Chains A and B, each alone.
Chain A
């Protein structure tokens, strides 16, 4: 089926199988492989992206459901000159990543979290990231990164 959407500012059109998951469209068709797949039950959040500014797990929806939306993936976060988004920079400064597999989803979820709540408490950050799993960091430095990005640490 025919789909149109804007991905990281570019207009994209494609003809996809109706059952194509959005994450597979982004990865396999558009080559935007920064968005990762870590599970098959929408539990891990590695595939988190923004649709019209809201964070969404891109494995939970079909590509067709994203028709006529504005999609942002991790590839769209740094600015055109390559300067990291403040959340990406905070993760780097705070050593909020190790293997980096959950990181794109974490950054997208954390960015969305701060949009909704610009000055969260540590507990609110932990609660806000509950849908994103990391196996490397124990979350300590991820939480620190988000607090730093929020200017609260």
Chain B
């Protein structure tokens, strides 16, 4: 077999998805199922008064109606919804139950649930439930939370949830700013984003009344985490729970949680002895699924007179929303280590205050903390370039770690050890691909001609943290679980291979990539490999998919399990060929005695021998079924250079992204087709934050744009083709030298686009542009700048 790793093998997943054969949660129907209809609060903050469920209960096809208070009295909850990341000892974490009993804290919080025979009947009946509310003042922004005139939770005396700091060298930071030749300060808004995976979330819980088991189908990224957490929150024994993530239509972090609907479905199915289901509507998703970002950032950079950075100081005010969900408070921390970017920063300090608001909870969204960090430092680098009077490429070159050259295992000011990097060649490759000098010439000629269509060129040289995570590093951050991943690789008697993976795909192509790794490791055809995943009964050990961890942790676990298969096979081959194991070479799926090509055994024959167990070495266990739990020694740190080219129509304020160039370095690539696809999609999500998307709230905490009519997820019309290129700097954190590509696009793109806009408008003295850079906002900024000039 020739190597398949590194080749653009077509995906195994595609035929079923292309023909509609795959089953997403809502596609699975069960006889006797009951549909949940959620009664949701129309108020952001209110006391729940009397609830009249009589009309709903009397409606045709309605089986039961339960209020939040009744659910609590029924003893369904052993504990509140979990937060796995209490970032400080004294973090405030108000209890959060699947349905509110006394007080609601965001629009859309569930106050009662209806169970009905049909999809439509459940919605109809939910409308018949009458709820009295005593409306309380809402805290509808970070600024309002910080001001503290009103409290988001009536029983708390402050909106502050926690303060967290990463200040390894406070004296150094003070000295850097005291002695700086130049300082710049950026204040940026990371607006709230609605993740909007195309498949809405959904659940289907199927009980076994006699056996006591409950099977939950959920559109989730994290079936394994969900299983533990459902046991902890409901008291249903973990061994009686089975969680299945069937085909899942995208996640982007939004399906990385433990949600009220999941707990309601499981507990009500268990109680009623009937299958219980629910699928969110898109407009409901703005309330029933967490949102991303939601930060106010202040970043200050100090440098010498040549723009060489001496210190970086960052403060965040972060919007938790109404409650702490699974990793809500930790999202800013995930970014904290990256505010020094790819730069050699002698002194760094970071502080973050988390605040409660009466808005939908926030949590992980593609990049989770890292796009925010990259945005801040990369915007600040452009500000510093302007201050010093050099180009954006030059200011970066002057500050790259290791002088822009190759390095391995380098400790940074933010206390992390970067696995590997080689930044200047990556920048050079991007500038060349973009024809940067020609773009600058075109920009100048438009300016000289007084064109109303300004060209802007924006750079971002990002780094990110992938491969979450070394378990000890997570312990240091007070995260409530480890970061390992599990794999099983087993030969079936006929020579085919089953791989069981603990990482759970939802569009990333794990089945293809894992088959490629196994094919190369075992010298077999990738089509002889079947990848099993996403069902806790089939794959009992796993920590799932998020944080660009699947390949760098889960894929590496598979490679290491394959190594164990090869090791065991070698012993069997040596025994059967009557040779010393060290005298055997393994190539092309075959063990062969060195120098004796006629003395050889294919690995499939050895595996069959392990199955029959007729002739194994003394004491060896039968079967070829090897397991590996890989806990990575370090994170992986992909990097890259993104260049956005925008054209701004001064007359309308419209920004058109006319070209986008991305040269990424994610280490070795298993499947370049998949890598490129991940980057395309990630880039467009970051571009969307820069130009179009943002959940908007009024002062009462109502989301003004919850539907896809108002929330502007881009279509094919709004985006250009993307030019991609790669450099390859293998990771030192794992044997495959892989890093991760799932979030890189998003982490690089928002800053590139806004830098391009600021670059386009720099002749007017414009130095910043809040996201999203809507035509109205751009037009106003241009006109204000012209008026002020």
Contact = CB atoms under 8 A, between A and B. Distances in A.
Nearest to B282: A39
A33 B250 contact: no
A40 B262 CA distance: 22
Interface stretch (B12-20, B51-59, B127-135, B206-214): B12-20
A36 B24 contact: yes
A107 B283 CA distance: 25
A140 B19 contact: no
Contacts of A136: 198, 250, 507, 677, 681
B506 A99 contact: yes
B773 to A, nearest CB: 19
A38 B200 contact: yes
B27 A95 contact: no
Contacts of A40: 281-283, 707
Contacts of B120: 17, 19
Interface stretch (A50-58, A62-70, A73-81): A73-81
Contacts of A28: 29, 119
B462 to A, nearest CB: 17
Interface stretch (B608-616, B709-717, B754-762): B709-717
A141 interface: yes
A9 B20 CA distance: 17
A44 interface: yes
Contacts, number: 184
A104 to B, nearest CB: 5
A37 B249 CA distance: 11
Contact of A92 (B15, B29, B252, B722): B15
A132 interface: yes
Interface residues of A, number: 58
A129 B199 CA distance: 18
A99 B713 contact: no
Given A92-B10, A133-B708, A141-B680, A99 B29 contact: no
A24 B119 contact: yes
Contacts of A22: none
Contacts of A38: 198-200, 249, 282, 708
Nearest to B249: A101
B565 interface: no
Interface in B254-305: 281-283
Interface string A82-98: 00100010011101011
B783 interface: no
B721 A140 contact: yes
A153 B307 CA distance: 46
A31 interface: yes
Contacts of A91: 14, 18
B684 interface: yes
B15 A84 contact: yes
A138 interface: yes
Given A38-B198, A92-B14, A125-B716, A143 B677 contact: no
Interface of A: 17, 19, 24, 27-28, 31-41, 43-44, 46, 73-75, 77-78, 84, 88, 91-93, 95, 97-104, 107, 122, 125-127, 129-143
Given A33-B23, A99-B507, A100-B507, 15 more contacts: A28-B119, A31-B29, A38-B200, A39-B707, A40-B283, A93-B10, A98-B677, A100-B247, A104-B18, A107-B18, A126-B717, A133-B715, A136-B198, A136-B250, A136-B677
Interface of B: 8, 10-11, 13-24, 26-27, 29, 119-120, 196-200, 247-250, 252, 281-283, 506-509, 673-674, 676-678, 680-685, 707-709, 713, 715-717, 719, 721-722, 745
29 contacts: A17-B120, A33-B24, A33-B27, A38-B708, A39-B281, A74-B19, A84-B18, A92-B11, A92-B18, A93-B10, A95-B11, A95-B674, A98-B508, A98-B677, A99-B199, A102-B249, A104-B20, A127-B716, A129-B717, A132-B715, A133-B715, A135-B250, A135-B685, A137-B677, A138-B680, A138-B685, A138-B722, A139-B684, A139-B719
